[in-house]
Amino acid sequence: MRTQVGIVGAGPAGLLLSHLLHLEGIRSVVLEARSREYVEQRVRAGVLEQGTVELLTDTGLGDRLHREGLVHHGVELRFEGEGHRIDLSALTGGRTITIYGQQEVVKDLIAARERDGGDIRFEVEDVAVDGLKTDRPTIAFTHDGEHGTLECDVIAGCDGFHGICRPSIPAGELTEYDRTYPFGWLGILARAAPSSDELIYVNHPRGFALSSLRSPEIVRLYLQCEPDEDVDRWSDERIWEELHTRLATTDGDYELTEGPIFEKGVAALRSFVVEPMQYGRLFLAGDAAHIVPATGAKGLNLAVADVRRLSEGLVQLFGSGRSDLLEDYSRACLRRVWRVQHFSWWMTSMLHRFGDDRYQHKLQISELEYVTSSTAAATTLAENYVGLPL
Ligand code: FAD
Ligand code: PHB
C-alpha cells in the first residue's frame, strides 16, 4: 500500500490533518487502534477556542458546531465563597469560546472523511513505524488478521500520549520536559439543567471544582481528587455532596441542580513536552508531543494548531517540493506549545489545593484577587483562555 501521508491515530489531530490534506488534494491513510464507536464516545474536552471554531467552519465542519455549540463570552472564578466574572469578550476585543464536546468534533470529522471517500482503518494492531530517516518511511500494521505495510512520503504521529510514534524515535534524539501534579480530576456527565450559564472554576479549601456543561440538558462537572483515585469509592451521593460543598457561595444564592449521572471517570493531570516534534520524516502532533493539565482547556486546541501548521508544510512540500515550512514545523509549534504550557500550569497552580500548604493557599487567594480586580491581569487570563492568534 502506498500513500502520501500515513497518519497514526484517529483522535482530533489525526482526523483533522487527514481532512485538511484532502482539501488540498493530498492523500492520506489514518490507522487507529480503537474501534470507531470507541473514539466517537470517548468523553474528553469541551472548550473550543475561537480560532479552532473558525478553522473548523472555514473547512466545512461548522454546520452542527454552530447549531449545537454554545458560545460563551465569560467565565467565573469562585474563591472564598464569592464569584468573580472574567468578561472574556470585553477584554479581548469581542472574542469568545464555544462549548462543543470533543467527541462531537470527532464524529463530524469522521463523517466528513467518510463522505469524501477518506481511508480510516479502525481496530488496527501491531502498528510500527520504520525508515524514518529515509524519504520512504513505512508503517507496518495488522488489520482484520492480515499484515500490511503502508509506504509513505511522510508519517504524522497523532497517536496521543501513549502512542508508539514518539517512543519509536531513538533514545537521545529527544529532550523531554514534564511535571506531574499530586492530584487528578474526577469528571462526571449528568442529565441536569446547568446551574449557571457560564463555566465556574472554583478554588476551595477542600480542593478544586469546575462546573461546565455540554448542552442545556447536560452538565459536565469535575472535582479535584487523588491522581490514582478509585472511582468506585465515589457514589453519586458523595459526588453531589462534594460538589455542593465546593461550589457553594457565602450568600447562598447559587443552587447546584442535580440529575442522573451517566458517565464517571478519573484523569491524572500532567504537563509534558518533547523537543523537537520531528525526527526525519516523522512529525509528532497533538498529545503525542505534549500534554497540558486540563485546567486551561487547551489540549484539543493545541492539537488543532499543530496540524494546521503541519498541513501547511505538507502542502508546500507536495506542491513545490520545498520543505522550509516543514523544517520550521517544530520550532514554530513549540512557541505556542510553551505559551500554552505556562498558561495551563498557571491556572492549575492558582486553583488547586496543594496538600496542606497554607502558604501556597494564601498566595493563590492573593493572585485570584488580583486577577479578578486588575484589568491588566484579567486581560492576561482572557487572551490566553480564548486563544492567542493561530
Ligand atoms: P488523542 O485524542 O489521544 O488521539 C490519539 C489517538 O491515537 C487515539 O484515538 C488512540 O486510540 C490512537 N492510538 C494510540 N496509540 C495508537 C497506536 N499504537 N496505533 C494506532 N492508533 C493509536 N482539551 C481542550 O482543548 N479543552 C478541554 O476542555 C479539555 N478538557 C479535557 C478534559 C479531560 C478529562 C481530558 C482527559 C482531556 C481534556 N483535554 C482538553 C485534552 C484533549 O482531550 C486532548 O488534548 C486531545 O484529545 C488531543 O488530541 P490528539 O488527537 O492529539 O490525541
Ligand atoms: C469540559 O467542559 O470538559 C472542560 C471545560 C473546561 C476545562 C476543562 C474541561 O478547563
- Residue-wise pLDDT for 119-137, tens only, equals 999 999 999 999 999 999 9
Q: How confident is the model at residue 34 (pLDDT cuts 50, 70, 90)?
A: very high
Calculate mean pLDDT across residues 89-101: 98
d(CA 267, CA 47): 17
Placement of cell 523537537 in the chain: 276
CB of 47 shorter than 6 A to ligand 2: yes
Average pLDDT, integer, range 321-332 = 98
Ligand 1 pocket test: pick from 17, 159, 210, 385 the residue with the most ligand atoms within 8 Å of its Cβ. Answer: 159
* Range 81-91 average pLDDT: 98
Atom 1, ligand 2: residue with shortest CA distance: 46
Task: Please tell me the distance between residue 368's alpha carbon and the centre of ligand 1 in angstroms.
Answer: 30
How much of the chain, in percent, has pLDDT values that exceed 90?
98
Q: What is the DSSP letter of 257?
A: P
CA of 213 to the centre of ligand 2 (A): 8
Phi, psi (5° rounding) for residue 345?
-65, -40
Query: Distance from the CA of 61 to the center of ligand 2, in angstroms?
Result: 21
Average pLDDT over residues 9-29: 98
Is any ligand 2 atom within 6 A of the Cβ of residue 102?
Answer: no
**Ligand 2 in contact with 295 (CB < 6 A)?**
yes
Residue 387 Cβ inside 6 Å of ligand 1? The answer reads no
| H-run or E-run covering 379 | helix 375-386
Reply yes or no on whether the pLDDT at 363 is more than 90: yes
- What does the angle CA 153 – CA 337 – CA 329 come to, to the nearest 5 degrees? 30
pLDDT confidence tier of residue 208, bands split at 50, 70 and 90: very high
Per the listing, cell 533514545 goes with 171
Query: 207: which residues sit within 8 A by CB, 6+ positions away?
Result: 183, 223, 224, 225, 246, 352, 353
Q: Is the pLDDT of residue 358 over 90?
A: yes
pLDDT of residue 153: 98
Looking at 233-323, list the stretches that DSSP marks H as alpha helix, in order from N- to C-terminal side: 236-247, 299-320
Average pLDDT score over residue span 236-263: 97
Structure confidence at residue 2 (pLDDT)? 98
| Separation CA 3–CA 364 (nearest Å) | 52
With contact defined as beta carbons under 8 Å apart, do 299 and 9 qualify?
no
pLDDT band for 194, please (50, 70, 90 cuts).
Answer: very high
The per-residue pLDDT for 390 is: 81
